[in-house]
Amino acid sequence: MSHLPAGFLRKIRALVVQTTHPLCFLLDSKHCLKMAMGDFTYYGYSPCKPGEDMGERLPFLIALQVTDPIVLRFMETPNQGSAHVHILPDDNDNILVVFIDANEQKSNQAKIQQKANELTLLHEQQCKLMQAMRLLEEELEAKIIEADEANQLKSRFIANMSHEFRTPLTSILGFTSRLKQDPQTSLKQHQYVAGLESGAKHLLELVENLLDQSQIEAGTLTNHPAPVDLGNVFDELEKEFQPLAEDHRLEFRVIRSAIPDRIMLDELRFKQIMVNLLGNAIKFTDEGMVGLSASWVDDELTISVSDTGPGIADIDRERIFDAFERLETKPGTGLGLSIVKHLVDAMTGELTLDSSPGKGSRFEIKLPAMRVHGADNVQSERPIDKIGRSSTSPIAVTILVAEDERCIMNLMESVLHEAGYKTLSATDGHDAVEVALKAHPDLVLMDLNMPKMDGFTAIKALRSKGFSPPIFANSAWSSAEHKSKALEAGCNEYLLKPMDFPRLLELISEYIGKR
């Protein structure tokens, strides 16, 4: 191997000296200086002479047994610098002490240590933040549970209030209807009765809308499609809204295209949609017309409600579907259209609005509505005892009325007696079962909320004992869950309070074969 040129060797030595600043002391066994070389001032040492005792200058050598090479790292120098001190013994009891600059390494180590300390602090802060986040998550979870419980309490409260309102409204609307039909009622009394009826219906609408809104907020709004005779539904809507339109001096048009006898639809939800849309149309239209049209094509039902009212500006089209939003100061909660939108969404339908100021409004709804084939042959899940009586007198038909509210009992008995039926009564579920099994009535009207034994239990008890005549559940509970529970218990029809007495009489006639 060839040797490096002398010039390169000098440069290498100079580079090593510049970067490491070596300082060497050669000492004898008594630590007396034999020779020294290097940059004394770089480490803060003053020049020293051969023979000088280095014990004071190099105190780390005292009591140090040097038999093998030793490295003392990051030793502090007189000028507060740092150096790696190498101590090398030889065979002649001499000791070579070499200082190598360690300032940069110490600075880097300090930086690394500082970073490590910072990371430790960050880790501690992170742990504290994580703990704080866990506490916040626990608090949030507790708040969510608390809010959920509050919503459930609110929903139960509104549901109970709806039930409690429906019971007295049954009496108010029932007796006002009776007064309207009474030939002895004077014109002035008719005006009073109309006011009572209007107020009661408005109160019922408010209660229903609040109940629906609570279900929407709780996320419990459901859709339960079942075979529906839409012709009957439209007949009922026409009967309900024709007089209301006449009171407002409006023309009320109903146009129906060919619609199957039965389609799959949630009848309760569909009625709620129509009642809200038609009620709004009549309420906000001062003159002209309100129209309802329906068509069915390829398992899709299209309904439109139009009016000649004031119309809706473009800027208001979105917000009218928000809860509690109203465009005018007319009575109401501002929930109707919001509920319509949510109901249409729950039924996987589509709602559109065509309106402009001064030109009226047209709401169009498209709903999936599959045709029920063979509807004429559809049988009830529970056998119904159809009573085809040959007697021309309906007094031969006996109906048991199970109702704990005396005023409603009187109202129902009055309606049934006027229709020519004989009645039996029971004021609690236990008596209803006993009377039904003993007297064998042709039909039972069963209130669901009664003392001693509720209507659900009473219906189950009758069916379990072989009682086969029709049972109509009569309830102020408007939820689909209560209806489903009553049908599962064994009732044939679920009638909602306030009672639609014309519809009740139609059902009674249908079930008992009255002629």
CATH code (residue 311): 3.30.565.10
Task: Name the more confident of 167 and 482.
Answer: 482
Residues 388, 297, single domain; the answer is no
List the structure tokens of 314.
């473009």
* CB 74 within 8 Å of CB 86: no
Tell me the pTM: 0.51
Residues 295, 409, single domain; the answer is no
Residues 372, 290, single domain; the answer is yes
**Cα(278)–Cα(165) distance, integer angstroms:** 23
DSSP 8-state secondary structure symbol assigned to residue 371: B
Radius of gyration of the chain from its Cα atoms, rounded to whole angstroms: 48
Residue where a domain terminates, one of 317, 352, 376: 376
Write a three-state SS string for 401-449. Answer: EECCCHHHHHHHHHHHHHCCCEEEEECCHHHHHHHHHHHCCCEEEEECC
> pLDDT tens digit string along 171-194?
777 777 778 777 887 777 777 777
Query: Across the beta sheet with 95-101, what order do the strands follow?
Result: 33-38, 23-27, 95-101, 82-89, 70-76
- If one counts the domains in the chain, the total is 3
**Cα(368)–Cα(348) distance, integer angstroms:** 7
Domain contains 188: no
**Cα(291)–Cα(269) distance, integer angstroms:** 20
Residues 299, 356, single domain; the answer is yes
Confidence (pLDDT) at 471: 93
Residues 423, 495, single domain; the answer is yes
**Cα(129)–Cα(134) distance, integer angstroms:** 8
* CB 436 within 8 Å of CB 399: no
Task: Name the more confident of 476 and 382.
Answer: 476
Confidence (pLDDT) at 376: 42
**Cα(304)–Cα(309) distance, integer angstroms:** 15
**Cα(226)–Cα(262) distance, integer angstroms:** 9
For residue 301, is pLDDT > 60? yes
Stretch 66-81: mean pLDDT: 90
Task: Name the more confident of 225 and 386.
Answer: 225
* H/E element, 192: helix 187-218
Domain contains 362: yes
Bridge partner list, 365: 303, 351
Bridge partner list, 306: 291, 362
Residues with Cβ within 8 Å of 343's Cβ and at least 6 positions away in sequence, in order, are: 212, 221, 269, 272, 273
Confidence (pLDDT) at 381: 38
Residue 101: count of CB within 10 angstroms of its CB? 21
Residue where a domain terminates, one of 332, 358, 376: 376
Confidence (pLDDT) at 185: 77
Going by pLDDT thresholds of 50, 70 and 90, the confidence category of residue 221 is low
Confidence (pLDDT) at 97: 94
CATH code (residue 486): 3.40.50.2300
Q: Which residue has the tokens 């390169």?
A: 8
For residue 457, is pLDDT > 90? yes
Domain contains 409: yes
Q: What are phi and psi for residue 350, nearest 5 degrees? A: -135, 135
List the structure tokens of 79.
């000028």
Residues 349, 434, single domain; the answer is no
Residues 370, 448, single domain; the answer is no
Stretch 462-488: mean pLDDT: 86
Rank 7-11, 77-81, 481-485 by mean pLDDT and report only the highest. 77-81
Confidence (pLDDT) at 327: 55
> Distance of CA 271 to CAs 297, 358, 424, Å?
20, 28, 32
**Cα(213)–Cα(231) distance, integer angstroms:** 28
Domain contains 165: no
Domain contains 484: yes
Residues with Cβ within 8 Å of 239's Cβ and at least 6 positions away in sequence, in order, are: 502
Residues 276, 411, single domain; the answer is no
* CB 382 within 8 Å of CB 492: yes
Percentage of the residues of the chain whose pLDDT score is greater than 70:
83
Going by pLDDT thresholds of 50, 70 and 90, the confidence category of residue 107 is confident
Domain contains 330: yes
Q: Where are the beta strands (DSSP E) in 130-191?
A: none
Confidence (pLDDT) at 380: 38
Where b means 16+ CB within 10 Å and e means fewer, 164-192 reads ebbbbbbbbbbbbbbbeeeeeeeeeeeee
> Distance of CA 199 to CAs 188, 192, 196, 202, 209, Å?
17, 11, 5, 5, 15
Closest CA to 154 of 220, 223, 202: 220
Residue 83 domain boundaries: 13-101
For residue 212, is pLDDT > 80? no
Domain contains 158: no
Rank 180-194, 294-308, 477-491 by mean pLDDT and report only the highest. 294-308
| HSE toward the beta carbon, residue 145, CA cutoff 13 A | 6
Confidence (pLDDT) at 162: 66
DSSP 8-state secondary structure symbol assigned to residue 490: T
Residues 312, 421, single domain; the answer is no
Residues 420, 372, single domain; the answer is no
Residue where a domain terminates, one of 36, 71, 101: 101
Task: Report the relative pairing of strands 226-228 and 263-265 from DSSP bridges.
Answer: antiparallel
Confidence (pLDDT) at 463: 92
Closest CA to 453 of 461, 443, 465, 463: 461
Q: What is the mean pLDDT of the chain?
A: 81
List the structure tokens of 210.
């609040």
Residues with Cβ within 8 Å of 382's Cβ and at least 6 positions away in sequence, in order, are: 463, 490, 492
Confidence (pLDDT) at 483: 85
For residue 329, is pLDDT > 50? no
Task: Name the more confident of 20 and 211.
Answer: 20
End-to-end CA gap in the chain? 131
Confidence (pLDDT) at 244: 83
For residue 161, is pLDDT > 70? no
CATH code (residue 26): 3.30.450.20
Residues 484, 417, single domain; the answer is yes
Residue 424: count of CB within 10 angstroms of its CB? 17
Stretch 71-86: mean pLDDT: 91
> pLDDT tens digit string along 33-52?
999 998 888 999 988 889 99
Residues 388, 364, single domain; the answer is no
**Cα(506)–Cα(320) distance, integer angstroms:** 38
For residue 133, is pLDDT > 80? yes
Residues with Cβ within 8 Å of 504's Cβ and at least 6 positions away in sequence, in order, are: 415, 472, 495
Where b means 16+ CB within 10 Å and e means fewer, 258-284 reads ebbebbebbbbbbbbbbbbbbbbbbbb
Percentage of the residues of the chain whose pLDDT score is greater than 90:
21
